[in-house]
Amino acid sequence: MTRIPELIDLSGETALVTGAAQGIGAASARRLAEAGASVVVTDVNAAAGSRLAQEIIHGGGRARFLPLDVTRVESLPETMARIREEAPRIDILVNNAAIFPTAPALETTPERWDAVLNLNLRGLFFLTTEVARQMRAGGAGGRIVNIASVDAIRPTGQLAPYDASKAGVVMLTRSLAVELAPFGIRINAIAPGGIDTPGARAAVAPGAVPARAMAGFLARIPMGRMGSPDEIARVVLFLASRLSEYMTGALVPVDGGYLVA
């Protein structure tokens, strides 16, 4: 029987994390690096992304920052070719980058809709297929972890385009699980509940989500608190490692019980 340290060991593997400059993406990059992976930290925020890569290197891990705007689908093949020069093989992809601007549905403009769907769903799909083609060509399989949301199942309010994008991510996870399994590529999704990140703090800042809605959200979490980015990162590591070897197409809620209450 393979022992736990071996099942979780990602030495010699390369992991690409999108939106990794802060929040859940940064926490995931740290944990993947701790498990031995060489991490390609990608984000549109070059300053914070580079800082994180340096932090990982100073802590004894392997990382590099590369700029990647997931919405720029047309330039993805070129960007990936550049990434391939430094990281010839990608074993793990964490699709984490997303935006979640709040607005009542009746005040949502086509521009707002496009901005959310272009990143959260369209960009995620084309990055995933680009990386999956490389994984297939490499012949060694791969693991993809999509960060969805509890909002894919239960709407928080004032997030209609986001909710639709995340429900789309859940279904893409299932569709691709079926198509990619023959190539040894597993793809699973996580549905985080309320997680204390810079993005979440901005969303609940005065003038964004009404305080009443936020209090209502917190009251519905059986564990009575928000989660930490690292509590999501640990499940990312689980899904990216051999601990989850027989899992594909799954949606794993990590939400303090929010979805069952």
Selected binder of ligand NAD within 10, 17, 21, 35 (CB under 6 A) = 21
Regarding 157 and contact with ligand NAD (CB under 6 A), the answer is: no
Check 100, 162, 217, 238 and give the catalytic one.
162
Cα–Cα nearest to 100, from 245, 188, 202, 205: 202
For ligand NAD, give the closer residue by CB, 44 or 247: 44
Regarding 200 and contact with ligand NAD (CB under 6 A), the answer is: yes
Regarding 97 and contact with ligand NAD (CB under 6 A), the answer is: yes
Sign of the alpha-carbon dihedral angle for 126, 127, 128, 130: positive
Q: Which helix (H) or strand (E) holds 17?
A: strand 14-17
Stretch of 40-48, 58-66, 125-133, 205-213 contacting ligand NAD, by CB under 6 A? 40-48
Regarding 83 and contact with ligand NAD (CB under 6 A), the answer is: no
Regarding 53 and contact with ligand NAD (CB under 6 A), the answer is: no
Selected binder of ligand NAD within 10, 13, 15, 22 (CB under 6 A) = 22
The yes-or-no answer on residue 246 being catalytic is: no
DSSP state of 42: E
Selected binder of ligand NAD within 14, 28, 38, 71 (CB under 6 A) = 71
- CA–CA distance from 203 to each of 27, 37, 58, 190, 231 (Å)? 19, 32, 32, 20, 20
Phi, psi of 13 (to 5 degrees): -105, 155
Note whether 150 and 255 are within 8 A (CB). yes
Beta carbons within 10 angstroms of residue 205's beta carbon: 9
Regarding 96 and contact with ligand NAD (CB under 6 A), the answer is: yes
Residues of this chain that bind ligand NAD (CB under 6 A): 18-19, 21-25, 43-45, 68-71, 96-100, 119, 147, 149, 192, 194-195, 197-200
